[in-house]
Amino acid sequence: MRPAQEVAHVPDDVEPRDLDKVARGELKTLSKENADWVAKHLVMAGRLIEEDPEEAHKHALSAGRRAGRIGVVRETIAITAYTVGDYALTLRELRTYRRITGRDDQLPLMVDSERGLGRPERALELGRSVDVSTLPASVRVSLAIAMSGARLDLGQPDAALGELEIPQLDRKRAFDYSPALFDAYATVLDDLGRERDAEEWRALAERADAALEAAHGDDDRETVEIVEEELDEDFVVDLDDVDAVEETDAVDEAEAVDESVDAEGRDEPEATDEPDQADTDTQADTDTQADTDTQVDTDTQDDHEDADRG
């Protein structure tokens, strides 16, 4: 007889409606009572995945016992398994997730799990099994970072650098995925002994992160959820414009200080027949505003498969 498995505790304040609406849509094939029960555990998995990944994983497994044929449930089990270092379970669950949904959006996590199991060759083979042109930009970036890591595992830093040299490696523009890509590139440059180049790309990563945060705030920048809606890929910050604004602000501040010092050091002018002409030229070139539609490529979960009934 199989021993009874522990069911994770759900606080009274957790409601099924707290779950992402896309994920709730996938649960519609379940009975209402079962869907509500599963939804609460998915909510808890999302809440705890950073602060208590072990407990988050328990909630994901609890949801899986009643909804094992729902894509978002298998995906949640995989993600929480990855956070606790169970890479074999991550791979098994993501293979099932792909069969259920037909999606490749978690391919980077599968590649990284193969690395976690000490199989970089299989990681590279898996990463090459899909046409990357069919993937969203953020998934292509995550896949490139994972593939680069596998190359480093094999002691191939030059090839690792090549994996990252993709169209999204644009030093003039910053998307939500850019800081991670820039930082990964800097790491490989360090391994190649190119310290100056590495410092430059690491500084770009920090500047991109700061520019993105300033453009749409830290709260909107990153939400820790198992499922997120797919958004437009038009959000971009022009890093050259960020530099221009910073330089203009610095010039304006310096000129304001100079004018203040001049005013304190001048005597009152004597009255004349014609008043002195004020200097009317001001430096007014400010604020090239970055685009405001967020480039957050996070994939909408599709509704798939018949549900388990509770």
Give residue 180's identity as a one-letter amino acid code: A
> Considering the domain boundaries, does residue 111 fall inside one?
yes
> Considering the domain boundaries, does residue 188 fall inside one?
yes
* Tokens read off for 173: 């523009």
Residue 273: the pLDDT is 41
> Considering the domain boundaries, does residue 124 fall inside one?
yes
> Considering the domain boundaries, does residue 151 fall inside one?
yes
Q: Rounded distance, CA 43 to CA 18, Å? A: 7
Residue 215: the pLDDT is 81
Taking a C-beta distance cutoff of 8 angstroms, is the pair 148, 184 a contact? Answer: yes
Q: How many domains does the chain have?
A: 1
**Beta strands at 237-238 and 173-174: parallel, antiparallel or unpaired:** antiparallel
Q: Rounded distance, CA 182 to CA 211, Å? A: 14
> Considering the domain boundaries, does residue 89 fall inside one?
no
> Considering the domain boundaries, does residue 192 fall inside one?
yes
Q: Which residues contact 162 (CB under 8 A, 6 or more apart)?
A: none
Mean predicted lDDT score pLDDT of the chain: 80
Domain at 172, CATH number = 1.25.40.10
Residue 213: the pLDDT is 87
Residue 221: the pLDDT is 46
Evaluate the CA torsion angle 86, 87, 90, 95 in order and state its sign.
negative
Helix (H) or strand (E) holding 238: strand 237-238
> Considering the domain boundaries, does residue 158 fall inside one?
yes
Residue 7: the pLDDT is 83
Write down the pTM of the prediction. Answer: 0.71
Taking a C-beta distance cutoff of 8 angstroms, is the pair 67, 39 a contact? Answer: no
Q: Residue ranges of the chain with pLDDT lower than 50?
A: 1-3, 221-234, 245, 248, 251, 256-257, 260-261, 263-310
> Considering the domain boundaries, does residue 86 fall inside one?
no
The domain in which residue 167 lies consists of 104-222
